[in-house]
Structure 1
Amino acid sequence: MLNLKKPSYLQAVFLLFIAMLCVQSSGSLAKILFQQFPVLTVSAMRMLLGALILAIIFQIWKINFKSVRWSSILSYGIALAGMNGLFYLSIERLPLGIAVSFEFIGPLSVALYYARQKYDLLWVSMAILGLVLLFPFDQATQSLDLIGIAFAIGAGACWAVYIIAGQRPSGISGNHTVCLGMFVGMLCLLPVALFSGMTSNVFQPPNLFYFIGLAILASALPFTLEMIALRNLTALSFGTLMSLEPAIAALSGFVFLNEQLLWTQWLALSTIIIASIGCTYTTQQAKRRTEANLKSSGKSM
């Protein structure tokens, strides 16, 4: 039985995997909206509606605001805004695969920073190798937009802050942390979106329907699941496991869109999957050793 309040390590990994699938499945909705609205409008509406949905589901009015650690909430919310807004700006100027590759510098930097043992470095290195093999070098032969690259790296930096901030104590539950963080992110993005051309037609029923779908699949559901995972995984594990996301995207294209993969891409997928399994296994083993040492030291006292 899946326990969302206190999931096991493997359950947390499973929830993170579901979050990745949600984000990947939201891509078609985002593409429809990008044809009609500026990218920052899409990003701001995604945050606004996601925050409102979570506010209702998690009953934001029940939060004890006196116990909220606002430094944690603000850093988490600003990271959310930057991660989403800058990434959308980057894919306006860069091919998607290249933007994703630059963005992944963020979570992998976190994983490298927290790597302490030789196996940690092995799994992170394998994840990096896999992402390098997935890099669309054929698209990189054309001149790349430096501003787009800067946006993608900025999104990656915000992603790194998001991972670290999501693990900091906020004084409230993880669900309420996501809810308040999304309101903070929305307040950061909405003024910029209004300034860049956001209009009231975003609230017309057909458009609103797409925005609500995007908010659920790309924000409300994955961020909630990721928060549960962040509270139960190490930053090393989270950063390494996130390398599965582009692998999932490549596999989705192969299965559902009949996109052919090169042998280097199959090798990349295998490398990333092995790194993720290896990181999960060694982290579990380290956790068990720590628990066993604590039990033995408790008995000897």
Structure 2
Amino acid sequence: MGESDKHPAGNPLLAGLALLCSQLSLNVGAAIAKHLFPKIGVEGVTAYRVGISALVMLLIFRPWRTPLTLRQVVNVAIYGSVIGLMNLMIYRAFSRIPMGVAVAIEVAGPLTVAVLSSHRPRDLVAVGLAALGLYFLLPIHGHVDQLDPVGVAYAAAAAACWAMYIIYGKRVSAMSGGQSVAWGMLAASLFIVPIGVAHAGALLLTPSLLLVGVAIALMSSAVPYTLEMVSMRTLSSRTFSMFSSAAPALSALAGMAVLGEHLTLTQWLAIAAIVTASALTSLR
């Protein structure tokens, strides 16, 4: 049994349900966040999401009660930095391309983790489906709606961060309660909040915007990361990646429902191919 298949005993059904709720909360929160981009910029919204989430997590879990080892400090620092950068990159992608398309590209991160942890022939089919889906999404041919290349690049950077998030999230998930999430969000806020403050300044303290920022933080970070950490204790990295494969479809639906982002048939088929590819890598 590979390392990715080793996980403590738990209820897989509850773990899967926790991850599904995490994805729903995350995508609706992201759709709401996109409304704030014109007012305080992507950096300001990311600062709201990460900074407020860190405060909530610290107040709830009070992680300082259990000191960290040096190894845990290193893993948490990397985990938190990846969270912060992943949030910034995907929000920058959202500001330029539809949410569903951005997350379809981003999901290449967990798909890569899943494929590298298995060497079954079925995974070759998954890679082919993912490559086909990405081909029809990327701005490399002119017979479909052209996407902003910069937005695509941001989504690809978020994909790399998502892969690292799964790897380092698995390493810190053994820590008690929500301690790992709280420390991770604190590390992320130390990285992201100064960037947001430098970009948006005093606008971040506007009461009406701050209230929306609290909702974004809870829906996009505090709730989903806590639920994901619960699921990581039971699910292997490969199975976690399989459940995460629904993210592009959920993001596209959230973008359509909240933002009116309607995709072409080609883009929907491309997203379906990527979702299928991600699911195939972990089906037993």
The interval holding the TM-score normalised by the smaller chain is 0.7 to 0.9
Task: Note the C-alpha offset of 1:178.
Answer: 0.7
- The answer to which of 61-70 and 260-269 deviates more is 260-269
Contact 2:89 2:154 in 1 (8 A): yes
Which residue identity is paired with 1:37? I
What number of residue pairs does the alignment pair up? Answer: 275
Residues 15-35 of structure 1, C-alpha deviations (whole Å, 9 max, x = no match)? 111111001211342123223
Query: Which residue in 1 is equivalent to 2:63?
Result: 60
Counterpart CA distance in 1 for 2:261 and 2:51 is 35
Correspondence for 1:193 among 196, 202, 222:
196
Task: Note the C-alpha offset of 1:106.
Answer: 1.6
Correspondence for 2:94 among 85, 91, 109:
91
Contact 2:138 2:152 in 1 (8 A): no
- Cα RMSD, aligned residues only: 3.4
Contact 1:90 1:149 in 2 (8 A): yes
Counterpart CA distance in 1 for 2:244 and 2:49 is 21
Which residue identity is paired with 1:144? D
Correspondence for 1:112 among 107, 115, 120:
115
Unaligned runs of 5+ in 1: 283-301
Is residue 145 of structure 1 aligned with residue 187 of structure 2? no
Q: TM-score, normalised by structure 2?
A: 0.80
Contact 2:98 2:261 in 1 (8 A): no
Is residue 20 of structure 1 aligned with residue 42 of structure 2? no
Correspondence for 2:239 among 228, 237, 240:
237
Correspondence for 1:205 among 204, 207, 210:
207
Counterpart CA distance in 2 for 1:8 and 1:113 is 25
- The answer to which of 174-183 and 62-71 deviates more is 62-71
- The answer to which of 148-157 and 61-70 deviates more is 61-70
Contact 1:72 1:169 in 2 (8 A): yes
Query: Which residue in 2 is equivalent to 1:292?
Result: none
Mapping 1:65-80, distance limit 5 Å: 65-66=68-69, 69-80=72-83
Sort the Cα spacing of 1:12 and 1:224 in 2 relative to 1 into closer, same or farther, 3 A.
same
Query: Which residue in 2 is equivalent to 1:100?
Result: 103
Contact 1:69 1:170 in 2 (8 A): no
Which structure has the bigger radius of gyration?
Answer: 1
Which residue identity is paired with 2:80? G
Correspondence for 1:9 among 8, 12, 31:
12
Paired-residue identity, %: 31
Q: TM-score, normalised by structure 1?
A: 0.76
Query: Which residue in 1 is equivalent to 2:54?
Result: 51
Sort the Cα spacing of 1:138 and 1:75 in 2 relative to 1 into closer, same or farther, 3 A.
same
Task: Note the C-alpha offset of 1:98.
Answer: 3.8
Residues 130-185 of structure 1, C-alpha deviations (whole Å, 9 max, x = no match)? 67677798896436334x33322211111111010001147732511111100100
Query: Which residue in 1 is equivalent to 2:33?
Result: 30
Unaligned runs of 5+ in 2: 1-7
Correspondence for 2:186 among 183, 186, 195:
183
Sort the Cα spacing of 1:271 and 1:46 in 2 relative to 1 into closer, same or farther, 3 A.
closer
Contact 1:63 1:172 in 2 (8 A): no
Sort the Cα spacing of 1:164 and 1:261 in 2 relative to 1 into closer, same or farther, 3 A.
same
Sort the Cα spacing of 1:39 and 1:255 in 2 relative to 1 into closer, same or farther, 3 A.
closer
Which has the higher relative contact order, 1 or 2, with Cα contacts under 8 A spaced 6 or more apart? 2
Counterpart CA distance in 2 for 1:212 and 1:38 is 16
Contact 2:47 2:192 in 1 (8 A): yes
